[in-house]
């Protein structure tokens, strides 16, 4: 299926030459041939572009009606007659870049709704959009091309770099953001961290949460995800890191660049993740741990010890994948042997 025209109108048709330049890909065909948009391999029509990412879709490739398909060089021979091959070593990446030509990310155009509440001391670039019932606090700084959607809250002193997008009902406080940061609907950034100390009488006194949140360029925070500000240090999320819906980062957490944190992950306070770390869904990471560069944590794992760079971890408590799989196999063998023994006794 192609992009839904009601919600995602395309900027087409586009000439092949422009699409190849954006994708950094190659094709032998009329450079002025025009395409109207992108679509799935099985649904694309003669004026649309699809892509082939994995071998399991090769059957769909031979039957496609797409005008062009982005694929690897060795797969071009499988194209049906009349279908143009756009050759790339990374088809998904090339296709994403082509799709962005037809559907570029929105940029602010200087629209400011009369129902927005904007403090007079806020510094807002003239090109930024401010939606209805959005709130912009005192001394906030909003860069060029930003879009602040309806009911979003940008707290006092917050800094948003160029082309940031704050979606409806998201809130951000005590934070400094780079360029292209995106907070999806309902995200909460900069709230007070979960830090307190007990009194002799059995009550609790909140520890001062006086740090900030620093979001690097192109960080994206999913819907209803939460990132607490630091206590006496800052919470830091490195450039281009992606945080999925419903994730939680505690105070003083530090993530390197290019990390991927999937839905329902919880990272406890002061944990440090290196660059390019991948954390799958529902993982829990204990506080004050260090996860090395390019480590990968499998879904539903519980991490209670430091993780070496490049390690693949699984289980709760998390162990190296090979160790965990041997453990599972051993338990299965023991269980099978126990069932056999029970069966003999019954007989």
The answer to whether residue 162 is domain-embedded is no
The answer to whether residue 4 is domain-embedded is no
pLDDT, position 221? 98
Active site residues: 251
The answer to whether residue 2 is domain-embedded is no
The answer to whether residue 193 is domain-embedded is yes
Structure tokens at 209: 């949460």
The answer to whether residue 126 is domain-embedded is no
The span from the CA of 343 to the CA of 335, in Å, is 12
Q: How many domains does the chain have?
A: 2
Q: Cβ distance 285 to 279 under 8 Å?
A: yes
The answer to whether residue 127 is domain-embedded is no
- For 175, the domain range is 170-321
Write the CATH number for 87: 3.40.1390.10
Q: What is the pLDDT along the chain (347 residues), one digit of tens a residue?
A: 578 888 998 898 999 999 999 999 999 888 889 999 999 998 999 999 999 987 777 888 988 999 999 999 989 888 999 999 999 999 999 999 999 999 999 999 999 999 999 999 999 999 999 999 999 999 999 999 999 999 999 999 999 999 999 999 999 999 999 999 999 999 999 999 999 999 999 999 999 999 999 999 999 999 999 999 999 999 999 999 999 999 999 999 999 999 999 999 999 999 999 999 999 999 999 999 999 999 999 999 999 999 999 999 999 999 999 999 999 899 888 888 776 776 666 66
Structure tokens at 150: 């309806």
The answer to whether residue 297 is domain-embedded is yes
Helix (H, G, I), strand (E, B) or coil at 26: strand
Burial status of residue 277 (CB atoms within 10 A of its CB: 0-12, 13-18, 19 or more): buried
């Amino acid at each position: 299926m192609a992009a839904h025209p009601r919600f995602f109108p395309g900027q087409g048709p586009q000439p092949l030459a422009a699409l190849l330049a954006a994708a950094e890909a190659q094709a032998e065909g009329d450079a002025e041939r025009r395409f109207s948009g992108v679509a799935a391999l099985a649904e694309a029509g003669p004026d649309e572009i699809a892509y082939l990412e994995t071998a399991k879709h090769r059957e769909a490739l031979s039957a496609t009606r797409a005008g062009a398909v982005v694929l690897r060089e060795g797969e071009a021979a499988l194209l049906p007659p009349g279908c143009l091959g756009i050759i790339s070593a990374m088809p998904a990446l090339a296709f994403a870049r082509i799709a962005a030509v037809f559907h570029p990310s929105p940029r602010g155009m200087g629209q400011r709704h009369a129902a927005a509440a904007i403090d007079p001391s806020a510094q807002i670039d003239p090109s930024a959009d401010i939606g209805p019932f959005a709130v912009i606090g005192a001394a906030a700084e909003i860069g060029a091309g930003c879009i602040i959607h309806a009911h979003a809250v940008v707290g006092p002193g917050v800094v948003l770099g160029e082309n940031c997008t704050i979606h409806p009902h998201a809130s951000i406080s005590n934070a400094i953001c780079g360029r292209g940061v995106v907070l999806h609907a309902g995200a909460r950034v900069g709230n007070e961290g979960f830090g307190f100390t007990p009194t002799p009488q059995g009550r609790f006194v909140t520890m001062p949460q006086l740090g900030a949140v620093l979001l690097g360029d192109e960080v994206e925070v999913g819907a209803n995800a939460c990132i607490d500000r630091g206590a006496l240090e800052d919470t830091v999320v490195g450039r281009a890191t992606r945080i999925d819906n419903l994730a939680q980062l505690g105070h003083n957490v530090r993530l390197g660049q290019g990390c991927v944190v999937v839905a329902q992950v919880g990272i406890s306070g002061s944990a440090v993740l290196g660059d390019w770390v991948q954390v799958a869904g529902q993982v829990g990471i204990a506080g004050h741990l260090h996860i090395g560069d390019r480590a990968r944590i499998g879904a539903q794992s519980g991490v209670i010890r430091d993780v070496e760079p490049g390690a693949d971890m699984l289980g709760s408590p998390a162990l190296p994948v090979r160790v965990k799989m041997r453990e599972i196999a051993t338990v299965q063998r023991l269980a099978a042997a126990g069932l056999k023994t029970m069966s003999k006794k019954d007989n």
